[in-house]
Structure 1
Amino acid sequence: MTVRELDAAGIEDPALRAAYTRCRGLNAQHGKTYFLATRLLPVDRRPAVHALYGFARWADDIVDDLDSTATPEERARALVELESQLESGLRHGRSAEPVIRALADTADRYGIESRHFTDFLASMRSDLTVGGYASYEELGRYMHGSAAVIGLQMLPVLGTVGPREEAAGHAAALGVAFQLTNFLRDVGEDLDRGRLYLPTDLLAAHGVDRDRFEWSRRTGRRDGRITAVLRAAGNHNRTVYRDALPGIAMLAPVSRPCIRTAFVLYSGILDAIEADGYAVLHRRAVVPRRRRAAVALDGLARVLTARAVARLREGPAAAGRISAAARPAVTGTARAVRKEAV
């Protein structure tokens, strides 16, 4: 993590700075789309987002790492240990584990409810034993903990222009929309893990079952009925994005460019899946780097506009210029965007 971000957030303790730096590394390594969008946030809010992502990534890796030789029992024990560390860290505000320490500090700074983290871990535990869901209603109960609560964790960090509870439903919907996109993009990899997040009744409505999906994954052969299922799942995903969209305007103006960029990039994955003929069982759909860069540049322009408006409200002398403190952040973001285009 850059010194600038830590300084702007008022994080002074060396061990705590190291903990946040660890979380930032996890975000940069594994959440490339999300990390790029995070660069559009005000520098003082970025460490908190990195802490939230770092914790979620750590738990997800315990459950999903295909390169790990851990047995289901060992993964379950690791989750129990993580939950114990989380409970202690949130109670005492400190932990020997860096990711937990950063998370506990973020939860305290922004008043994030602890139940959002325990609900998340409950869904992670279910991944060790549950391999499928009968309906979107049943899947939705799982996604409350695995996705909706991520949006609710983020909301205090992003800030709102009105009562937070009015934006909460949209924030939860956006978390769900992002995860539904991940489910569709990663359907082949999830099958390799023994899971299928497409509801059984959706498959049945198109005359296929899980065995047919596994056959397609194994043989590399296509089936029009599977394509129909995937198209229907994508259409459902787009309705959730539409439900989430009004929430962006409810966020603090300086946070909107970040979330709008994430919104456009993630929904763009659906476009890439469609353009590739819904071949997600056989290859991973990717938004082209130049497209990601163009979206991020648009987000950067919106950041600059939001900051200019904020400075105008502070007084005419502050308008029309980037402060010395903000200039490195803008330059760093522009540099990261340029790298996306090459």
Structure 2
Amino acid sequence: MLDAALFDTITKFPIDIQPFKDMIDGMRTDLKKARYKNFDELYMYCYYVAGTVGLMSVPVMGIAPESKATAESVYGAALALGLANQLTNILRDVGEDARRGRIYLPQDELAEAGLSDEDIFKGVVTEKWRKFMKRQIKRARMFFEEAEQGVTELRKESRWPVWASMLLYRQILDEIEANDYNNFTKRAYVGKAKKVLALPVAYGKSLLLPYSLRNNQT
């Protein structure tokens, strides 16, 4: 049934096969790699396991007919959203991943902050850890900001769920901060009330003109 659904989708929409192949390669990476030397390596991992989802989704969601944005810029924003979501997952799940022997944080940046794998496994929140986490959260938010303009260029009926997803994922970063950066033993999650409140906000954002049109009007 799943194959039939996928076949139906790829016959209706111009989806390229490469993101699917890349995603499979990303899943294979988890079988043999549990550390990442630097952000360049982590970036590629995030692309393979999550950025690919953005690239798969754009042809289905569609670019708004009135949009003046280039397809390249919309796909770039979709890629940024996938990367932001995966970075958020990694920051949320530091403790859980460590208990499985995995550390997805850039090793060189840990070392620069005076941290090691052993500090991750101990799971104690220190000033060094807080400073390190602030840097990681800032970068994830940067990718969310990059994605925002692209969301406005999607077809009107596709924008609401994407905006809702983005707003809720960004709130996970807020919750990590609210937990005093303790992502070792506390799992950051967005409560039901906040989820419900995010929906009308996302809907309102989905009604805005594509950024490319607003930019032309100013």
Normalised to the residue count of structure 1, the TM-score between the two structures is 0.57
Paired residues of 2:26 and 2:45 also in contact (CA < 8 A): yes
Aligned-partner residue type, residue 213 of structure 1: I
Match of 2:26 in 1: 123
Residue in structure 1 matching 2:7, options 104, 109, 112: 104
Aligned-partner residue type, residue 151 of structure 1: G
Q: Which consecutive residues of structure 2, in runs of 5 or more, have no partner in the other structure?
A: 210-218
Cα drift, residue 247 of structure 1: 0.5
Note the alpha carbon deviations across 1:244-268, whole angstroms, 9 max, x for none: 1111121112211221111111101
Residue in structure 1 matching 2:74, options 164, 167, 187: 167
Residue in structure 2 matching 1:298, options 201, 204, 217: 201
User: Structure 1 residue runs of 4+, over 2 Å off?
Assistant: 98-101, 161-166, 221-224, 297-303
Cα drift, residue 168 of structure 1: 0.6
Note the alpha carbon deviations across 1:187-229, whole angstroms, 9 max, x for none: 111112221111001101110111110012xxxx332222222
Match of 1:195 in 2: 102
Other structure's SS at 1:128 match: helix
Match of 1:245 in 2: 148
Aligned-partner residue type, residue 158 of structure 1: M
Give the Cα separation in 2 of the matches to 1:192 and 1:214. Answer: 7
Give the Cα separation in 2 of the matches to 1:279 and 1:100. Answer: 41
Note the alpha carbon deviations across 1:293-320, whole angstroms, 9 max, x for none: 01113334666x68xx9xxxxxxxxxxx
Q: Does 1:176 align with 2:90?
A: no
Aligned-partner residue type, residue 246 of structure 1: Q
Give the Cα separation in 2 of the matches to 1:180 and 1:247. Answer: 19
Cα drift, residue 116 of structure 1: 0.8
Identity of aligned residues (%): 33
Higher relative contact order structure (alpha carbons within 8 Å, sequence separation ≥ 6): 2
Residue in structure 2 matching 1:206, options 93, 113, 123: 113
Q: Does 1:149 align with 2:70?
A: no
Q: Which runs of structure 2 are paired with 1:1-342 in the superposition (5 Å)?
A: 98-161=1-64, 162=67, 163-216=70-123, 221-300=124-203
Give the Cα separation in 2 of the matches to 1:209 and 1:169. Answer: 33
Report how many residues are paired.
205
Other structure's SS at 1:198 match: coil
Paired residues of 1:257 and 1:299 also in contact (CA < 8 A): yes
Paired residues of 1:269 and 1:286 also in contact (CA < 8 A): yes
Cα drift, residue 277 of structure 1: 0.5
Match of 1:19 in 2: none
| Alignment CA distance shift 1:302-1:208 (3 Å) | closer
Cα drift, residue 185 of structure 1: 0.6
| Alignment CA distance shift 1:295-1:129 (3 Å) | same
Cα drift, residue 241 of structure 1: 1.1
Give the Cα separation in 2 of the matches to 1:156 and 1:110. Answer: 6
Cα drift, residue 274 of structure 1: 0.6
